[in-house]
Amino acid sequence: MSKKVLLVEDDPNLGMVLQEYLQFKGGYEVTLCIDGMQGLDAFKLKSFDICILDVMMPKKDGFTLGQEIRELNQNIPIIFATAKSMLEDKVQGFNIGGDDYITKPFRIEELLLRINALLKRSSNQVIEEKQPDKFQVGSVLFDPLLQEIYNGYNSQKLSSKESELLHLLCKHKNDVLSREQALISIWGNDNYFNARSMDVYISKLRKIFKEDEAVEIINVHGRGYKLIF
């Protein structure tokens, strides 16, 4: 069955273009709403798999709508779309519970890729929730609660930042973890200095797994990192 998308966009021309593209190219069933009030009503009436919310809208802005949707459903992926590029707006979106943030103008192809990635991640998380909160990463077992990795009888303590970063990578295994999401989630800010700090911790994690050919942390140019195992 087709995944169901709630698209809330007050620009009727852009909304129709996005709706048609996601339906014909993505194979999704798209419900288009033109303001936040209409979007909330639709969400209450139907079941959706993902929400794409314009931020600047009449009657009810996208952040308010996103917060209300998150109160009704803790797990549904939410993408905020806005012409604003200020860090404060991105932080607000993630704090509300948004999963991704795309700045206008954007390529429709990019939006489709983000939707596909979030829905794939959401499906993986449903599977993970049925498993213990530990991750088998190649030949080692990672316990994020104790911040330790185990290889047989040997254990290694990780720093808080190493553990948080590895935990995020594990949650997004075989998928891209965006630099922005990791920086805001762990460091609270995606400025230059925090970005350089994260690069150092990525290098440390790579050293931990360098002897394991089944595990690799790769750079995805312009997007972030991917943990493959």
* Cα within 13 Å of Cα(205), Cβ side: 30
Coil vs helix vs strand at 15: helix
Coil vs helix vs strand at 39: helix
Residues of the chain with CATH 3.40.50.2300: 4-127
Q: Give the pLDDT of residue 200.
A: 93
Distance CA 84, CA 53 (A): 13
Q: Are 141 and 149 in contact (CB under 8 A)?
A: yes
Q: Give the pLDDT of residue 127.
A: 46
* Cα within 13 Å of Cα(81), Cβ side: 24
Distance CA 83, CA 61 (A): 13
This prediction has a pTM of 0.56
Residues of the chain with CATH 1.10.10.10: 132-228
- What tokens were used for 118? 């979030």
Q: What is the DSSP string of 130-151?
A: TS-S-EEETTEEEETTTTEEEE
CATH topology for 4-127 is: Rossmann fold (3.40.50)
pLDDT in tens, 121-178: 766 554 444 544 789 998 899 998 889 998 877 889 999 899 999 999 998 888 899 9
**Which of the following CATH numbers is that of domain 132-228: 1.20.1630.10, 3.40.50.410, 2.30.40.10, 1.10.10.10?**
1.10.10.10
Per-residue tens of pLDDT for the chain, all 229 residues = 689 999 999 999 999 999 999 999 999 999 999 999 999 999 999 999 999 999 989 889 999 999 999 989 988 999 998 876 666 667 777 777 788 888 888 889 989 988 998 888 766 554 444 544 789 998 899 998 889 998 877 889 999 899 999 999 998 888 899 988 899 888 888 888 889 999 999 999 999 999 888 899 999 988 899 999 8
For 152: left if phi > 0, alpha if psi spans -120 to 50, otherwise beta; the answer is: left
Residue 135, Cβ neighbours under 10 Å: how many? 21
